[in-house]
Amino acid sequence: MNWFLSVLKRPVDFKGRARRKEYWYFFLYSLILTIILSVIDNALGWYNSAEEVGILSGVFTLLILLPSLAVTARRLHDTGRSGWWMLLYIIPIIGFLILLYFLVLDSKPESNQYGSNPKAYEING
């Protein structure tokens, strides 16, 4: 849960680097919370089938939108790429697959223009 909270502490910080662990744990916890909130929305009758969103899960999604974009940009920085690569999401299927590949890559071991390797800091720090 600390990885999820660490992202929320830097909700609009698009600078620096984020380890795979930070990104994927944030993704996992966000997904789990969204599913739980969707179940609660369904149970309370707050799910709109026409819009395919519930009140609680929709509000939660809006609240984590900027932190999600920020941690994705930092994750791309960790692989030596600009955060602008997120624009690949615009391209159906192919863009998603390319970004998925970038997001699962390991950190660049050396420092880059976005900062020092956070994995090395965690091991040495």
Percent pLDDT > 90 in the chain is 74
Within a domain: 55:
yes
User: What digits encode the pLDDT tens for the residues 10-43?
Assistant: 999 999 999 999 999 999 999 999 999 999 999 9
- CA–CA separation, 1 vs 100, rounded Å? 23
Domain that holds residue 11: 2-119
Residues 84, 86, 99, 72: is their CA dihedral positive or negative?
A: positive
**Predicted pLDDT at 50:** 78
| Measured CA distances, 54 to 34, 40, 64 (Å) | 10, 9, 15
**In total, how many domains does the chain have?**
1
- Considering only CA atoms, give the Rg of the chain: 16
Whether the pLDDT of residue 121 is over 80: the answer is: no
Within a domain: 124:
no
User: What digits encode the pLDDT tens for the residues 50-65?
Assistant: 778 899 999 999 999 9
Within a domain: 17:
yes
Contact 103, 72 (CB under 8 A): yes
- Is the model more confident about 117 or about 84? 84
Within a domain: 25:
yes
